[in-house]
Structure 1
Amino acid sequence: MANFTMSGFLLMGFSDKVELEILLAFLFLVLYMVALTGNIFIITAISMYSSLHSPMYFFLKHLSFLDLCYISVTVPRAIYTSFMHSGYISLGECIVQCFAFVLCACAELSILTVMSYDRYVAICFPLRYDIIMDASKCVHGVLGAWIGGIISGLMHTTATFSMHFCGSHVIHQFFCDIPQLLKLSCSNEYIREVGVTVFLSLVTLFCVTIIGQSYLKIFSTVLRMP
């Protein structure tokens, strides 16, 4: 079978019907512009007003920036594909899209974990909050989220595109989705990607557990207040 990793892939649009595909593309465009405007407004407001220069809003600003990047990785390309009726995506663009998608997803989960810890300290230890959540810890938390996202993106992207893709080069998704790419791989070449997925799933479970425990302790503390 031919190896299509040297040329590119063919992305499927939102629908097989042209009229429905254009309608959905317009809907996604409107929603994308609303999300873009909202996140830019949050980032601008937090940056401009000194009263919002606190750890909570510092993390919120970075979360909004990650949301902006997250939706910009896939949605504009999908809208372009629908309007131009051309789903071809080059290998390089597909690699960048996969890397950026995983990076933003993992970094956003890390930021949410740090934010849950910030709220836990603020409510459960209010007198020590300024000491525990100082500026250096906030910066380290954001840097850790970005570094973790970059490492996760590199692991997933390297494991995925080290495989050979045999047969059809059609991806049944509107972006380069890793599970869909695995379906195009030759037999027994996806073991490395499965190992990376299992490892990152455990990390995700760890983050979700921390978030859950933080908010459980917050609710418990609030309910005990007279």
Structure 2
Amino acid sequence: MSVSSIKRFTRTLRAEMDKLITLPSVWITLICTFILNLGVVAAFTSVGLKGEAGTQGILIIGLSSMGYLQAGFIIIGILTTCSEYTGGQIRTTLTAIPWRSLQLTTKHLALAMVTIPAAFIIVVLGMLYPWIRIRDTAVGGDITPLTKALIGATGYLTLTTLLSAAIGAIIRRTTPTLVILLGYYFIVSPLMKGLLRSFITYLPDAAGQSMYRPSSTDELNALTPVQGTGILMLWALILIAVAVVFYRKRDA
């Protein structure tokens, strides 16, 4: 890359980061997700205190809110790419940054830079609470499974956010994208688990769940964390590439 290309990239990334961190709806969603996460984990921890939990039990409790967490991060991804179409702000963006592929790519990069620490902190606190409450009755003290699950859950939430942002960029409307994605994650996918077990393993949510869930003999969890990461990453990259193609060919 030439010096001018590097400067263009850094300036565009800085502009996208500034837009993202000044978007109130993103921070409101993060705060609500954080509060909901602690509430769900606290409720499951209270149940876990009634018996011996062990490290595996602490892990299960700490991840009990992942379904709700993914909803919050899906919303963040959608808001990131769809918010500019409300009121026509996208025209101002494209006037200032006419390089569409660069602009959309750096938007996703900025989103990842915000999502990774946010997801890490929320997941850490979600696991820390049951660990503090249950550690006195826990059987065994190996924290390796907790560490692996923490990394996997952070990666899953980040890739899910990027995937949601890409679909938002394709559809360009907040409400339809929310309906489609939340409908898929919370209605369609659970229904499909009992019908198409071999196929659903390779869908984004099922593959991604293997990144952080404890190993199981269930067919749904047959993928290893590395395989699950690869499949979910491939989904995200394909959808981002499709979003870039659509973005380049459409009018603002």
Superposition TM-score, scaled by structure 1 size: 0.33
Rg larger in structure: 1
Greater relative contact order (CA < 8 Å, ≥ 6 in sequence):
1
